[in-house]
Amino acid sequence: MPRDPHYDILFEPVQIGPVTARNRFYQVPHCNGMGRKFPSSMAAMRRTKAMGGWAVICTEEVEIHPSADHTPWAGGRLWEDRDIPYFARMCEGIHEFDSLAGIELNHAGVTSTNRYSRMPPLAPSAIPVVGHDPLQAREMDMSDIRELRRWHREAALRARDAGFDLIYVYAGHQLSTLSHFLSPYRNRRTDAYGGSLENRARLFREVLEDTKEAVGDTMAVAIRFSVDELMGEQGFTSAGEGRDFIEMIADVPDLWDVNISSWENDSATSRFKSSGFQDDYVSFVKQVTSKPVVGVGRYTSPDTMVSMVKNGHLDFIGAARPSIADPFLPKKIEEGRIEDIRECIGCNICVSGDQSFAPIRCTQNPTMGEEWRKGWHPETIARKTSDDTVLIIGGGPAGLECARALGLRGYGVTLAEASSQLGGRLVHERGLPGLAEWGRVVDYRTYQISQMANVHTYLDSAMDALQVAEFGADHVILATGSTWDRLGIGRENPLGITLATDATVLTPDDIFAGTVVQSPVVVFDDDHYFLGGLLAEKLRADGNSVTYVTPATEVSSWTHNTLEQQKIQARLMEMGVQIITSHNLSQVSADEAVLTCGYTGAQRTLDCGAALLITMRHPVDSLYTTLLGANLPSLTRIGDALAPSTIAAAVYSGHLCARELGEPPSDGVPFKRELTALSSDFPTGA
């Protein structure tokens, strides 16, 4: 199908210094949890994006020296020449599809703790490192400043030798020593590198000039800069020093990559920020520079992209998360297949991998991170190995993805859903405050399935064991989901909570069913992800008196991994939800809840008209248990019916099942591993 001419502007080439990008789609630097620890996986992931049409594909942060060692974080590392080969592999894959490879060099200063190198961190002024490590950075003297310039220059030359086309001088997210020198609250120097903005920018300008002198004849030199730190006058603002800095060196770099700081604001979830919210802060940049500008906004709509370019706000459509959800987004626009775009839902599960030092994953794209490890491609899949038929019972995230992928393979698939709607848990969760975009998980898959003549969907079609046997499918796959526990069984109470017979005890399933809640409500969150805090928010918005109780030390503690925790807790506090942390819910009676302090064991009571328990989920597997005795040729469980987890895990489970159907079982470890070679250099002597 030909491309809509309205989108032609997105496919115009753009000059960036000495190199040319083939279109306006630009994958900005983003973390991936692979980096130096899993370099083959990292390189294959970036190569896939080049294949999918992204004109510029960049690394994550890349360390330039052991004095800024991010261990245990699995980012890039370019300390010495021995680090070049795995970057060269990445560049080769990107160049294979005529895309440009970019590298984001960084010296992280006070945001690195040097756990591996054991060197004292460096900073413009003596200051504790970011986080809670009992460690301080030492103030850099003039020799340190000269050394930093040398380290950056040498890393730039290594990047050139690795084959990169574009190189960053990084001052974003308050994660680099260069941004720390720029900072009015981290730089307290009184010499030529402190005080005025011109002085605080001196080191940045020197490094920029060093880089252009070293590699600027063959490589584009870009700046990544957080124009507003959302700290008011204490930090950079887009109306103050943020703009002043850009105006100061407007036409010196070959490209401006502008965003806001810090990471949790730059990569805010869809629950708290809509697509394009950063434009309010960065739209002025093109007014003060003649150089190309790239910005981000979780853009997935090509019409919005065209508007950003035509209105003079951006030259490149920057993307991290949308390029993860759909590495082939540019190619789909180019080929006139807009309806096939797998849109990012802004859940930040991708970030959670990096935050936990594990390879990246994605709710929408189950192949993310598996391009090398399992050889998965986001758009193609092996054709069927037989004419077997498949019956999938359950139309939630796992069942929908399994049906979509099996349909793509060419199998004849019947999807039976007991209710009147597809979506499973998302039928209700997508209706919670801020989660509307999560519905894209369902919408994308239902549309794809609707275009497949070999996939048939039936609603209001509950099936029992006899009906399943009579159906006669060669493969039966159960995606029957899970239900929330009603006894309070979970991490803190493995045997459950003491519940009086006259107590009003609810689970999320009751809330979704429309049960009227009797105030005051005690929400007990032993799940620690998004749902406890979000249901407390919903119940409070409905006019209830709500007390949120958790054994953790903070609200929705796991959401640190998705960069939301502070926003969630702040919202509950602003709404008037009482928050009690580090307490277990021990007993519930008709009008009272008993809490036990996790530290001292001291007990206290709360008025309680109803207790909402968010503890653990039970797989709905009774049909599976019954069918085990039915001697079916093939019976499988997937998603929450197998092991309740995140929506991302359910989608992955469904996709894995579809990939493996009809294939020989793996012998041993079911994926490729990257193993570090042992050195022959062993210590000698006693």
Catalytic residues: 31, 170, 173, 266
Whether the link from the prior residue into 72 is cis, omega within 30° of 0, is yes
Closest CA to 614 of 558, 544, 671: 558
DSSP for 73-113 reads S--EE-SSGGGHHHHHHHHHHHHTTTPEEEEEEE--GGG--
Exposed e or buried b for every residue in 220-236, given b needs 16+ CB within 10 A? Answer: bbbbbbbbbbbeeeebb
Token digits of residue 248: 């100061």
- Dist. CA 224–CA 300, nearest whole Å: 22
- Dist. CA 217–CA 429, nearest whole Å: 53
Closest CA to 399 of 482, 463, 481: 481
Whether the Cβ atoms of residue 526 and residue 493 lie closer than 8 Å to each other: yes
Secondary element (H or E) of residue 477: strand 475-478
Question: Which DSSP letter does residue 15 get?
Answer: E
Report the sign of the C-alpha dihedral through residues 468, 473, 474, 478, in that order.
negative
Phi first, then psi: give them for residue 389, nearest 5 degrees: -105, 155
Counting Cα atoms < 13 Å in the Cβ hemisphere of 683 gives 2
Q: Which ranges constitute the DSSP H helices of 501-587?
A: 508-512, 530-541, 565-575
Q: What angle do CA 15, 16, 17 make, to 5 degrees?
A: 110
- Terminal-residue alpha carbon distance, the chain: 73
Question: Which DSSP letter does residue 629 get?
Answer: T
- Dist. CA 422–CA 401, nearest whole Å: 12
- Dist. CA 32–CA 352, nearest whole Å: 10
CB atoms within 10 A of CB 81: 12
- Dist. CA 395–CA 423, nearest whole Å: 6
Closest CA to 329 of 397, 371, 257, 378: 378
Question: Between the CA atoms of 266, 270, 272 and 276, what dihedral angle is there, to the nearest 10 degrees?
Answer: 60
Contacts of 495 (CB under 8 A, 6+ apart): 489
Closest CA to 178 of 208, 157, 210: 208
Whether the Cβ atoms of residue 77 and residue 63 lie closer than 8 Å to each other: yes
Contacts of 209 (CB under 8 A, 6+ apart): none
Residue with tokens 């030259």: 315
Whether the Cβ atoms of residue 162 and residue 87 lie closer than 8 Å to each other: yes
- Dist. CA 336–CA 163, nearest whole Å: 33
Token digits of residue 131: 């986080």
